[in-house]
Amino acid sequence: MPFDFKKEYREFYMPAKKPVIVDVPEMSYVAVRGRGDPNEEGGEYKASIGLLYGIAFTIKMSKMGDHRMEGYFDFVVPPLEGFWSQEGRDTGIDYTRKGDLEFVSCIRLPDFVTKEEFNWAVNEATRKKKTDFSKVEFLAIREGLCVQCMHLGPYDAEPETVRLMHEHMEKQGYELDISDTRQHHEIYLSDPRKCAPEKLRTVVRHPIRAIK
């Protein structure tokens, strides 16, 4: 059976429908940075998605020397994720100001993919697909302590889920810790092109720290 991150790491990809505290270890991603409204046709965000999947599937279909062993490359490409921020905002995202959103759009990489193998995949995808992948980067992030929750419904309704998350963290003795390096994080478990808005499933995660 293909290795599926959503099944093997359920605490990070399939959380409960109520807020929980998690300690997220370091993970590596293929990532693209940009700015602007994610719904804009022809915008930077939608362009980033094609670049991410181009590299992710190049790695999935590759045979990288000594790493090639039974089942080792047989994995399900993980879901699309995004780290989001806005200048002057340290409590989350203002959904009424989508035009000034900054994002790091990403897809998790299997643990065996090193920076060198990532570079190989970028060169291979560039050669085969005749596409410029220069905006794609290898990104390693350790999120650490976070509060997260499964959000059900449209993206614009996330503030209510965020409110519940913040209430939970405060009851547990934590406070929000959003900064330039610790950002609002979303994991998209549903394809909005194929799923009704009210049935969308999105993991929402915020960094926290213990109240001193």
Model confidence over 57-102: pLDDT tens digits? Answer: 999 887 654 444 344 457 899 999 999 999 878 878 888 899 999 9
Q: Delimit the domains of the chain by residue range.
A: 15-210
- Give the contacts of 103 (CB within 8 A, at least 6 positions apart): 33, 34, 35, 38, 45, 48, 82, 83, 84, 85
Model pLDDT, residue 68: 45
- Give the contacts of 90 (CB within 8 A, at least 6 positions apart): 176, 178, 179
Instruction: Give the separation between CA 69 and CA 75, rounded to whole angstroms.
Output: 12
Helices and strands of the chain, counted as H and E runs: 5, 7
CATH number of 15-210: 3.20.80.10
Structure tokens at 207: 């960094």
Instruction: Give the separation between CA 143 and CA 206, rounded to whole angstroms.
Output: 9
Question: Which DSSP symbol is given to 3?
Answer: B
Lowest mean pLDDT among 87-96, 161-170, 198-207: 87-96
- Residues 94-105: pLDDT tens digits? 888 999 999 999
Distances (CA, A) of 28 to 60, 119, 140: 15, 13, 4
Question: Reduced to 3 states, what is the DSSP secondary structure of residue 185?
Answer: strand
- Give the contacts of 105 (CB within 8 A, at least 6 positions apart): 31, 32, 33, 34, 45, 48, 49, 52, 80, 81, 82
User: Counting Cβ atoms within 10 Å, is residue 187 exposed (0-12), middle (13-18) or buried (19+)?
Assistant: buried
Average pLDDT of the chain, as a whole number: 92
- Half-sphere exposure for 126 (CA within 13 Å, toward CB): 11
Tokens 């405060």 correspond to 170
- Residues 44-57: pLDDT tens digits? 999 999 999 999 99
